[in-house]
């Protein structure tokens, strides 16, 4: 039996433990976070104020954005800002994109379920998690080993068994797993990489930021073997790096 005094002590200690977070490893993200009603409320406000009030109308995308806990994918000391309307640093000179941009890029793919999607630039794994809620399989490539390994561990911990992480040069894509119904690129090359165009399936869509000093988010579609391109909005992403970029 637990004494009344001991019960009192436990009742004082539990709220403090409830708020504690565990500092992450190489990527600086929290490994485990207890359920937090404040963060859940912030996530709902993010969907209502940042997404629905703009041009995000796909109900499946909105549901995925409300389901995936973005605070799991940011550094522990930034979790209170996880649902703010902007990008956040995740270490190694990389960022997690603004929620609106994640939702917009995902919506542009027109995912219906069951698709095979390629992501270039895993980062902390947030975009991959959103895609995994909507597609059949997600293949994601990260050029920074520490980020890729940390993201892979976190995604497995969260139960995503349809996400496959690879450390490598995203410019070259993942040809042995293609073609892909959708491709999302979260780093900006100066021109659209030909290997990614080659790995885009017939009827597929690719969303990619393109440019150096001035960047534009571009929607690419492949129909009848022909490529069409449509500029969406100005953006600012970290530049694409790797040997593929140097050799182009």
How does pLDDT run across 62-109, given as a tens digit for each residue? 999 999 999 999 999 999 999 999 999 999 889 999 999 999 999 999
Could you say which of 4, 41, 81, 97 is catalytic?
A: 97
Q: What is the pTM of this model?
A: 0.84
- Within-domain flag for 10: no
- Within-domain flag for 40: yes
Is the per-residue pLDDT at 12 higher than 80?
no
Q: pLDDT tens, 139-172?
A: 999 999 999 999 999 999 999 999 999 999 999 9
Is the per-residue pLDDT at 24 higher than 90?
no
The enclosing domain of 62 has a CATH number of 3.40.50.150
- Omega of the bond prior to 179 within 30 degrees of 0, cis? yes
Could you tell me how many residues make up the chain?
A: 248
Q: Which residue has the higher pLDDT, 135 or 245?
A: 135
- The alpha carbon of 143 is separated from its chain's Cα centroid by a whole number of angstroms, namely 15
Share of the chain above pLDDT 70, in %: 85
Q: Is the dihedral of CA 156, 158, 159, 164 positive or negative?
A: negative
Q: pLDDT tens, 110-140?
A: 999 999 999 999 999 999 999 999 999 999 9
Q: Which residues contact 42 (CB under 8 A, 6 or more apart)?
A: 82, 83
Is the per-residue pLDDT at 6 higher than 90?
no
Cα 135 from Cα 114, distance rounded (Å): 5
Q: pLDDT tens, 98-110?
A: 999 999 999 999 9
Whole-number pLDDT of residue 25: 36
The three-class DSSP label of residue 209 is: strand
- Within-domain flag for 7: no
How many domains does the structure of the chain reveal?
1
- Within-domain flag for 222: yes
Domain ranges, residue 178: 20-247
Whole-number pLDDT of residue 248: 60
- Within-domain flag for 220: yes
Q: Are 68 and 102 in contact (CB under 8 A)?
A: no
For residues 23-33, give the mean pLDDT. Answer: 41
Q: pLDDT tens, 178-198?
A: 999 999 999 999 999 999 999
- Within-domain flag for 14: no
- What's the whole-number average pLDDT of the chain? 87
Q: What pLDDT band is residue 242 in, cutting at 50, 70 and 90?
A: confident
Q: Note if 97 is an active site residue.
A: yes
What φ, ψ does residue 85 adopt, rounded to 5°? -85, 65
70 Ramachandran zone, left/alpha/beta (phi>0; psi -120 to 50): alpha
- Within-domain flag for 8: no
Cα 143 from Cα 123, distance rounded (Å): 9
- Within-domain flag for 96: yes
Q: Count of alpha carbons within 13 Å of 219, Cβ hemisphere only? A: 15
């Amino acid at each position: 039996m637990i004494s009344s005094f001991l019960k009192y002590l436990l009742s004082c200690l539990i709220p403090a433990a409830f708020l504690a977070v565990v500092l992450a490893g190489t990527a600086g993200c929290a490994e485990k976070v207890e359920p937090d009603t404040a963060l859940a409320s912030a996530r709902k406000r993010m969907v209502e104020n940042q997404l629905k009030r703009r041009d995000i109308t796909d109900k499946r995308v909105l549901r995925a954005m409300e389901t995936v806990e973005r605070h799991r994918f940011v550094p522990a000391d930034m979790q209170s800002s996880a649902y703010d309307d902007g990008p956040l640093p995740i270490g190694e000179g990389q960022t997690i994109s603004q929620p609106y941009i994640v939702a917009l890029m995902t919506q542009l793919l027109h995912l219906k379920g069951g698709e095979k999607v390629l992501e270039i630039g895993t980062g902390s794994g947030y975009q991959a998690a959103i895609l995994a809620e909507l597609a059949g399989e997600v293949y994601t490539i990260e050029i920074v080993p520490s980020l890729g390994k940390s993201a892979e561990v976190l995604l497995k911990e969260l139960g995503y068994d349809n996400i496959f992480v690879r450390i490598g040069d995203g410019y070259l894509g993942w040809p042995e797993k293609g073609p892909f119904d959708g491709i999302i690129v979260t780093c900006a090359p100066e021109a659209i990489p030909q290997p990614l165009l080659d790995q885009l399936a017939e009827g597929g869509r690719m969303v990619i930021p393109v440019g150096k000093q001035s960047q534009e988010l571009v929607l690419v579609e492949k129909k009848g073997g022909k490529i069409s391109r449509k500029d969406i909005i100005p953006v600012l992403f970290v530049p694409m790096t790797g040997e593929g970029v140097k050799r182009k």
